[in-house]
A and B are shown apart, each in its own frame.
Chain A
Amino acid sequence: MKLPAILPVAALVIVVIVASATAGGAPSHFLVTNDDQGTVFPPSTLSFYPIAPDGSLAAPAHVSTGGNGVAGGFFGANRLLIAPNGPDECLYASNAQSENVSGIDIHTHKLAGPVRGSVPDHKLARNGIALAVSATHLYAAFSGSGNIGVFERQPACALKFIADFPAKGLAGGFAESLAIHGNMMIAAYGDGSIESFDVSAGMPRSNGDAQNSTRAQDDYFPDSIDITSDGHYAIFGSGSADAAVQVSDISSGKLTPTLVYTLGTAWNSSSVRLSPDERVLYISNNSAGRVTAAFFDKNTGKVRQGCTSAPLKGYYEQFTYLGAVATGLSTGTGGLLYVPEFNAQKKSYLGVLRFIATPTGCTLTEIAHSPFAGVPGSALLSIAVYPPRPF
């Protein structure tokens, strides 16, 4: 496997970490990639990369998901989720070509599943399967059938299919992305509408707040969703001709009309991710090869212009689209940022950026050794970091 050029000291650290991982199980700080290759055989893998203190990635452990990806799809769909489940710490991964979901113990790498939904869900999910978890259930938005499959979370990261929930937007769009805070699940549909559900009983029950997002009339459709730690605001990325995000006050338990914030001209802003301290909103400008950082006020929900990176190295030559940002640390502004670089030449990469707040704003720059070129999947869109941020 090809590793990036790293400083000798960092290399030593990596060796120590890998040795430690080998001797004592999985490392305590790692990044996971969904190695989606879109092929039927062999099954897709997840790669667990130990993260060194300097943010560099060491040789990974590969774990089969037992299913197959579809090599592309919605930018906003969460295909990987890390979530505690009682004594277990689980990683859930969706497999869009085999239309199922895998559960994996992040420490033992033991695979549970994959588990299918209903018979109608067994239809090619060409745009991926978005995942969200509550304390008790996992929800999978099948882009093939349009159903949200409801799975009960069981010990050892296993899943048990309960039933489908046929969720459709106001104009019939399928759910592209899901997010959960407490008992509230929010869905963004492919027709530009959004809706929230009460999932306290497991099966979703609409809160009766289905509505078109404010920019839907311009065909800026919400995509990924993030929710503040206090459940006060929901933030929507947008498939858009510029960097537009939308914020809805959900403190009443229902979605309210979204407020639109345009944060520059970088094309598309489908994927959004709050920093662990909720001061910064990271936005993947998926089609522009850039990342934007905006300042977020968690008390008011207002978003303020920050900074946008230059096009990441290899944009257009090595990759076409960016996936969703993951922060390297679970505190503060998140440390280094990792962002999947979806291939244009049958090979994916991981861009690595550094965010720095300045007196007048911020800078967002790609580090010297970015991108990381060792990703085995050809169609990387989803990554996750352990330990995750606390919300």
Chain B
Amino acid sequence: MTVQQQRGHCRAGAWRRHSCLLAGTLARAWHFHAASPALLICACCLTLPAAHAQTGCLGRPYPNTVIQNPLDLTASNGVLKAELTLRSQEMLELPLKACYVYDAGSEQVEAPTLRLAPGDTLDLSLKNEFSYFRHHTTPPPPSPPPHDPCTGGNTATTSTNIDFHGLNIPPDCHAGEATITTIENTDPPFTYKFQIPQDHPPGMYWYHPLRLGSATVQLNGGASGVIIVSGIEKVKPEVAGLPERILVVRQQFDDDDPEAWPPGESELSLNFELSVSPHRPSPVIQMKPGAKEFWRVANAASQAFLALRVMFGKTAQPVKLIALDGVPVRKSVDLRTIELPPGGRAEFIVTGPAAGQEARLLQTEVEIGRTGPESDEQELAKIVATPDAKVPPALVGGMPGATAPAPRPAARPTVVRKLYFAEANNGTIGPTRYFLAVEGQTPRTFKPSAPPAVVTKVGAVEDWIIANRTGENHAFSMHGVHFLLLAADGKTLLNPEMRDTVTVPAWEGEGPYPTVRLRLDFRDPRTAGTHVFHCHILHHAETGGMGKLQVNPQ
């Protein structure tokens, strides 16, 4: 097991804008020259109270570092037992860091990848040591002891929980429940324990906080990691033996003001290395010339809609799609742009450039609507082809896992419902409340204590037509079950695939509202329970854009 090289000092963003103003000013005042980077690094990395440094986050990669996979934690004898600690670290003039720290014995690492096979049990202990709260706010008192994390608690930026995004697991406090579970930083370690179903689709999932009142701040700080359910090579043999590259796109904001919308400036990162070219060199993906790799990409940004391209020079290259949102696709089409809403994942085969050929992974400009945050083109990484490239290990065959494609929903729905995204603003910069409402019901912002917006029963097959009545994109995300994406923007898709998160495009001010049509299959008795659905722009979810679905037993 190789620990990822994550030991860095200051992040690239520190050099980019305001964060190094102090250092730059000092350097100028003291007649230092650009040849004094060490001093600037020190100045940039001045931390707030020393106590944070003892318990805070780990260093993140330098600019221009070769991208490596996160540390793998793999189940043994059917169980993956691990302990994570959620921490925060505030740094002068820099965005907040939030991190899942794993103690690997000789050293600590951030955000390990959890690898499980269908049938394995995840036994994950989470200690909440998150201490950050906004400067001009008062930290709420901890809930009076003894506090039961399964009964809720204070809505505070110091509370947390984990959403195991996309896994088809029961909505239980110790598994997939994400609205009530509240782990406070005064609680003892909390245990998540559940089994991956034997028939679970093999693919890429991820974990992140979803506690209302803290999720956005924590996710923006970097609190997220990947889950791999093994066995994809059995459904998609073409990936067997290919180097398996785990790429996590995150997004950090210069200002964590939860009321500011659209939010302020932000930067994307790839495996924690900031992508801020041309201000600093980009992360580097090393590949063997012309070799194929299996890329597994998670959009762990809280707000960014991704449209990724592998560029050779100015030409977008085709990549072969293998899976979406953790589910192998029925038809492995070639795509030149991989579109991922916040929370979405895509797995695909990339063929590397020739030695010396200019290549890069590019986030292209995304149309996100008039009132949404800007989304400009950004180079995420340079792709460097060299015979001695350090490539990630090949995907190991022979792992347990499903051998057949995931089942599809029934051909006909028993129920058709209409839902819609809406917003209420009191001004040009908010405050804005977000609604994910069922047509015919009074739109209400989500409250965890509210009754379910949708009630159905095991055996139902439902089509949901979800409209966007707002001027910005939303990302509809469903917990507990995947859905078949039948139509987008009113057009029936030729190759519908299973998803758990999908973009609902912005309304352009006239004409019909853009819609997506999903098919949800509740014939499996294991779908019984109360699931949530929400916008995966977590700021929207936290300010109302969420609902509950109750599936009653038959």
Name A residues whose Cβ lies closer than 8 Å to a Cβ of B. 72-77, 126-128, 176, 190, 217-221, 223, 238-242, 267-268, 270, 286-287, 289, 311, 315-317, 320-321, 342, 344, 379, 381
Whose C-beta in chain B lies nearest to the C-beta of A241?
B422
Q: Beyond the given A127-B427, A315-B510, could you list 12 further A-B residue pairs with CB under 8 A, ordered by the A residue number?
A: A74-B426, A176-B426, A218-B442, A218-B444, A219-B424, A221-B433, A287-B423, A315-B509, A317-B509, A320-B370, A321-B428, A381-B428
**CB-based contact B426/A75 at 8 Å:** yes
Interface centre among B426, B469, B509 (most CB of A within 10 A): B426
Of A218, A239, A317, A342, the residue contacting B426 (CB under 8 A) is A239
Please, how many angstroms separate the alpha-carbon atoms of A190 and B426 in the complex? 8
Please, how many angstroms separate the alpha-carbon atoms of A250 and B422 in the complex? 32
List, in ascending order, chain B residues with CB within 8 A of A321's CB: 425, 428
List, in ascending order, chain A residues with CB within 8 A of B428's CB: 72-73, 75, 320-321, 342, 379, 381
B544 at the interface (CB under 8 A from A): yes
How far, in Å, is A216 (CB) from chain B's closest CB?
11
**CB-based contact A268/B544 at 8 Å:** no
Of A77, A239, A344, the residue contacting B424 (CB under 8 A) is A239
List, in ascending order, chain B residues with CB within 8 A of A190's CB: 426, 431
Complex A-B, nearest 6 residue pairs according to Cβ-Cβ distance, in ascending order: A316-B509, A72-B428, A241-B422, A239-B426, A74-B427, A219-B445
How many B residues touch A, CB cutoff 8 Å? 26
List, in ascending order, chain B residues with CB within 8 A of A270's CB: 425-427
Interface centre among A73, A190, A242, A287 (most CB of B within 10 A): A287
With A219-B544, A315-B510, A344-B370: A287-B471 Cβ-Cβ less than 8 Å: yes
SS class, residues of chain B in contact with chain A: loop
List, in ascending order, chain A residues with CB within 8 A of B432's CB: 239
List, in ascending order, chain A residues with CB within 8 A of B423's CB: 241, 267, 287
**Proximity bits, B296-320, A CB within 8 Å = 1, else 0:** 0000000000000000000000000
Whose C-beta in chain B lies nearest to the C-beta of A260?
B442
Please, how many angstroms separate the alpha-carbon atoms of A242 and B429 in the complex? 19
**CB-based contact A72/B510 at 8 Å:** no
Please, how many angstroms separate the alpha-carbon atoms of A49 and B427 in the complex? 26
B435 at the interface (CB under 8 A from A): yes
**CB-based contact B510/A311 at 8 Å:** yes
Please, how many angstroms separate the alpha-carbon atoms of A239 and B422 in the complex? 11
Whose C-beta in chain B lies nearest to the C-beta of A287?
B425
List, in ascending order, chain A residues with CB within 8 A of B489's CB: none
Whose C-beta in chain B lies nearest to the C-beta of A223?
B426
How far, in Å, is B446 (CB) from chain A's closest CB?
9
Please, how many angstroms separate the alpha-carbon atoms of A346 and B442 in the complex? 36
List, in ascending order, chain B residues with CB within 8 A of A241's CB: 422-424, 435, 437, 443, 469
Please, how many angstroms separate the alpha-carbon atoms of A190 and B429 in the complex? 13
**CB-based contact B425/A75 at 8 Å:** yes
Q: List 12 A-B contacts (CB under 8 A).
A: A72-B429, A176-B426, A176-B427, A219-B424, A219-B445, A221-B431, A238-B424, A239-B433, A240-B424, A241-B443, A289-B509, A379-B428
Whose C-beta in chain A lies nearest to the C-beta of B422?
A241
With A239-B433, A241-B435: A316-B508 Cβ-Cβ less than 8 Å: yes
**CB-based contact B425/A316 at 8 Å:** no
Whose C-beta in chain B lies nearest to the C-beta of A177?
B426
With A75-B425, A316-B508: A219-B444 Cβ-Cβ less than 8 Å: yes
**CB-based contact A73/B427 at 8 Å:** yes
List, in ascending order, chain B residues with CB within 8 A of A239's CB: 424-427, 431-433
B371 at the interface (CB under 8 A from A): yes
Please, how many angstroms separate the alpha-carbon atoms of A17 and B531 in the complex? 67
List, in ascending order, chain A residues with CB within 8 A of B469's CB: 241, 267
List, in ascending order, chain B residues with CB within 8 A of A72's CB: 427-429
Please, how many angstroms separate the alpha-carbon atoms of A41 and B424 in the complex? 33
Whose C-beta in chain B lies nearest to the C-beta of A239?
B426
How far, in Å, is B373 (CB) from chain A's closest CB?
14
List, in ascending order, chain B residues with CB within 8 A of A217's CB: 444
Please, how many angstroms separate the alpha-carbon atoms of A317 and B470 in the complex? 15
List, in ascending order, chain B residues with CB within 8 A of A316's CB: 370, 471, 508-510
Please, how many angstroms separate the alpha-carbon atoms of A11 and B198 in the complex? 80
How far, in Å, is B138 (CB) from chain A's closest CB?
11
How far, in Å, is A126 (CB) from chain B's closest CB?
7
How far, in Å, is A364 (CB) from chain B's closest CB?
17
List, in ascending order, chain B residues with CB within 8 A of A127's CB: 427, 429
Please, how many angstroms separate the alpha-carbon atoms of A286 and B427 in the complex? 9
How far, in Å, is A312 (CB) from chain B's closest CB?
10
List, in ascending order, chain B residues with CB within 8 A of A221's CB: 424, 426, 431, 433
List, in ascending order, chain A residues with CB within 8 A of B431's CB: 190, 221, 239
Please, how many angstroms separate the alpha-carbon atoms of A379 and B429 in the complex? 12
How far, in Å, is B438 (CB) from chain A's closest CB?
12
Please, how many angstroms separate the alpha-carbon atoms of A77 and B426 in the complex? 10
Please, how many angstroms separate the alpha-carbon atoms of A100 and B108 in the complex? 53
Interface centre among B423, B428, B437, B469 (most CB of A within 10 A): B428
With A219-B444, A239-B433: A75-B427 Cβ-Cβ less than 8 Å: yes
Of B426, B443, B544, the residue contacting A242 (CB under 8 A) is B443
Interface centre among A176, A218, A221, A241 (most CB of B within 10 A): A241
How far, in Å, is B302 (CB) from chain A's closest CB?
21
Please, how many angstroms separate the alpha-carbon atoms of A75 and B424 in the complex? 12
How far, in Å, is A143 (CB) from chain B's closest CB?
9
**CB-based contact B509/A311 at 8 Å:** yes
List, in ascending order, chain A residues with CB within 8 A of B508's CB: 316
Please, how many angstroms separate the alpha-carbon atoms of A75 and B425 in the complex? 9
Interface members, chain B 441-483 (any A CB < 8 Å): 442-445, 469-471
List, in ascending order, chain A residues with CB within 8 A of B370's CB: 316, 320, 344
**CB-based contact B371/A320 at 8 Å:** yes
Interface centre among B423, B444, B509, B544 (most CB of A within 10 A): B509
Whose C-beta in chain B lies nearest to the C-beta of A317?
B509
List, in ascending order, chain B residues with CB within 8 A of A287's CB: 371, 423, 425, 470-471
Please, how many angstroms separate the alpha-carbon atoms of A241 and B434 in the complex? 9
Please, how many angstroms separate the alpha-carbon atoms of A128 and B427 in the complex? 9
List, in ascending order, chain A residues with CB within 8 A of B427's CB: 72-77, 127-128, 176, 239, 270
Whose C-beta in chain B lies nearest to the C-beta of A238?
B424
List, in ascending order, chain B residues with CB within 8 A of A220's CB: 424
How far, in Å, is A318 (CB) from chain B's closest CB?
10
Of A128, A176, A267, the residue contacting B422 (CB under 8 A) is A267
How far, in Å, is B531 (CB) from chain A's closest CB?
23
Please, how many angstroms separate the alpha-carbon atoms of A63 and B370 in the complex? 32
Interface centre among A128, A289, A316, A342 (most CB of B within 10 A): A316
Whose C-beta in chain B lies nearest to the C-beta of A76?
B426
**CB-based contact A320/B471 at 8 Å:** yes
Whose C-beta in chain A lies nearest to the C-beta of B432?
A239
**CB-based contact B429/A73 at 8 Å:** yes
Whose C-beta in chain B lies nearest to the C-beta of A72?
B428
List, in ascending order, chain B residues with CB within 8 A of A311's CB: 509-510
Interface centre among B427, B433, B437, B510 (most CB of A within 10 A): B427
Please, how many angstroms separate the alpha-carbon atoms of A25 and B444 in the complex? 53
Please, how many angstroms separate the alpha-carbon atoms of A379 and B544 in the complex? 28
How far, in Å, is A217 (CB) from chain B's closest CB?
8
List, in ascending order, chain A residues with CB within 8 A of B435's CB: 241
Please, how many angstroms separate the alpha-carbon atoms of A268 and B431 in the complex? 12
**CB-based contact B445/A218 at 8 Å:** yes
List, in ascending order, chain A residues with CB within 8 A of B510's CB: 311, 315-316
Please, how many angstroms separate the alpha-carbon atoms of A51 and B424 in the complex? 34
**Proximity bits, B407-432, A CB within 8 Å = 1, else 0:** 00000000000000011111111011
Whose C-beta in chain A lies nearest to the C-beta of B543?
A219
How far, in Å, is A36 (CB) from chain B's closest CB?
11
List, in ascending order, chain B residues with CB within 8 A of A381's CB: 428
List, in ascending order, chain B residues with CB within 8 A of A126's CB: 429
